[in-house]
Copies of this chain bind each other. A is one copy, B any other.
Amino acid sequence: MKKVYFTPGPTELYSEVPKYLEEAIGNNICSISHRSSEFMEIYKQVSSSLKQLLGIPNSFRIFFLASATESMDRIIQNTVAENCFHFVNGAFAERFYKTALELGKRAGKCEATSGSGFDFENVTIAHTPELICFTQNETSTGVALPVEEIYGFGKKFPEAIIAVDIVTASPYLKIDFTKIDCAFFSVQKGFGLPAGLGVLIVNERCIEKAKSLKEKNIRIGSYHNFLSLDENAVKFQTSETPNVLTIYLLGRVCEMLNNYGIEKIRSETEEKSGMLYEFFDSHSKFGTFVKQKKDRSNTIVVADVGESLTAIKKSLLEEGFVIGSGYGKFKDNQVRIANFPMHRIDDVKKIISALDKV
């Protein structure tokens, strides 16, 4: 039986991906030079389709990296001389914070209780940090942050760079890019593609900050520093030979999603997450992990299932569905169900019905 992956990522591919792959092979996409006009056309098209899909202003740059983890690293190296601040609502936000420490920065953090958001009003940041980092949709806990709260910190600290991890939020998330400075995702989540490509979206302020760090002789890295990335991106090229195939596939997926309509994707996502949360909220033995409705992610649904985890995974697998276990210390008693645009409502209903029988 064919399996359908409702895992937080790598996840199910869009059903169109095999067709796009075949098309890429037929068009020699894997053999063309990354300095050729053919590649530059692809970069241009992806950049423009992605900007349309996510509502990214034209002035922002689209950089292609290898992973979201790399994006965290490059953002810190290129925007922080001394200090940054992190809102930590789970394992991936913690990784962002730890990356700053590994790179020798003074990093502050505000930690949320696992499964909760932040009491933003009562957060005090002593000094103005150079960079404030948010994990809008924490993949490990299913906690999402209201974008208005993120914008608030941009207003309060106009000198700071505001960076937002939108890894499992995109393309569902509607975020006003004019109120943040950079955001990043990887393509094996909501973009339903093979892993190995990270997308980093930055504004002019980030480039300027990198420039000023370099002038002060602070190390900003080598081939993937923002200046080298920018210098190449303006020509629709990359510093090194990139993952041309996946960049091409991303362009095709963005085009398809634009044709489908982002608002339709958003309302369908909320319909599906609503069904899952309703099921877990009203179940006698299982329960939604994130208690406050305002903190709940629409793309990663996490539930406490106690000892039933093994039975659940077995029973879903019999129906052809693969879902995620809990993250870290919750790996034996939680499920994490991804709810991305390629996940069909009929399949969500089948998953709920199978869960109901466990």
Is A124 among interface residues, defined by CB-CB distance under 8 A? no
Q: Of all chain B residues, which has the CB nearest A5?
A: B31
Residues of B within 8 A of A322 (CB): 31
Mask for A136-159, Cβ within 8 A of B = 1, else 0? 000000000000000000000000
Determine if A7 and B21 form an interchain contact, defined as CB atoms under 8 angstroms apart: no
State whether A221 touches B102 (Cβ < 8 A). yes
Is A99 on the interface with B (CB-CB < 8 A)?
yes
A67 at the interface (CB under 8 A from B): yes
A241 neighbours in B (Cβ, 8 Å):
9-10, 67-69, 186, 188, 195-196
Closest partner residue, chain B, to A24 (CB atom): B194
The answer to whether the Cβ of A103 comes within 8 Å of any Cβ in the partner chain is: yes
Contact between chains at B197 and A30 (CB < 8 Å) = no
Residue of A67, A195, A246 with most partner-chain B CB within 10 A: A195
Complex copy number for this chain: 2
Interface residues of A in 331-349 (CB under 8 A from B): none
A66 contacts B by Cβ under 8 Å: yes
Q: Does A70 contact B (CB under 8 A)?
A: yes
Q: Is A58 an interface residue (CB 8 A)?
A: no
A102 close to B222 (CB less than 8 A): yes
A73-B196 contact in complex given A7-B33, A25-B18, C-beta closer than 8 Å: no
- Whether B28 pairs with A5 at a CB distance below 8 angstroms is yes
Q: Which 4 pairs show the lowest CB-CB distances between chains A and B?
A: A196-B243, A66-B66, A69-B240, A5-B31
Residue ranges of A at the interface with B (Cβ–Cβ < 8 Å): 3, 5, 7, 9-13, 17-18, 21-22, 25, 28, 30-34, 65-70, 72-73, 95, 98-99, 102-104, 186, 188, 193-197, 219, 221-225, 239-246, 322, 324
